[in-house]
Structure 1
Amino acid sequence: MTDYQEQLAECQANNKNLFASVGEAGKGFGALHAASVADGVLDTKTKELMSLSISVVERCEGCITQHTAACIKAGASREEFAEAVSVAIMMAGGPATVYGGKALVCFDQLSK
Structure 2
Amino acid sequence: MTDYQQELTEIMDNNKNIFSSTGEVGKNFLNVHDAAIKDGALDSKTKALEALGIAIAIRCEGCIIQHVKGAIKLGATRDEIIETINVAIMMGGGPSTVYGGKALACADQFLNK
Do both share a fold (TM > 0.5)? Answer: yes
Structure 1 spans left out of the alignment, 5+ residues: none
The residue that corresponds to 1:47 in the other structure is 47
Q: Tell me, yes or no, if structure 1 residue 110 matches structure 2 residue 103.
A: no
TM-score by length of 1: 0.99
Backbone CA RMSD of aligned residues: 0.5
Displacement of 1:110 after TM fit? 1.2
C-alpha distance in 1 between matches for 2:27 and 2:100 = 30
Deviations 1:46-97 (A, max 9, x none): 0000000000001100000000000000100000010000000000111000
**Letter of the structure 1 residue corresponding to residue 103 of structure 2:** A
C-alpha distance in 1 between matches for 2:64 and 2:58 = 9
C-alpha distance in 2 between matches for 1:10 and 1:59 = 18
Give 1:13-32 correspondences, 5 Å limit: 13-32=13-32
C-alpha distance in 1 between matches for 2:28 and 2:96 = 30
- Using the aligned pairs only, state the percent identity: 58
TM-score by length of 2: 0.98
Displacement of 1:44 after TM fit? 0.3
C-alpha distance in 1 between matches for 2:35 and 2:92 = 27
Corresponding residue SS for 1:55: helix
**Letter of the structure 2 residue corresponding to residue 24 of structure 1:** E
C-alpha distance in 1 between matches for 2:100 and 2:6 = 19
Give 1:1-112 correspondences, 5 Å limit: 1-111=1-111, 112=113
Segments of 4+ in structure 1 off by > 4 A? none
**Letter of the structure 1 residue corresponding to residue 110 of structure 2:** L
Corresponding residue SS for 1:30: helix
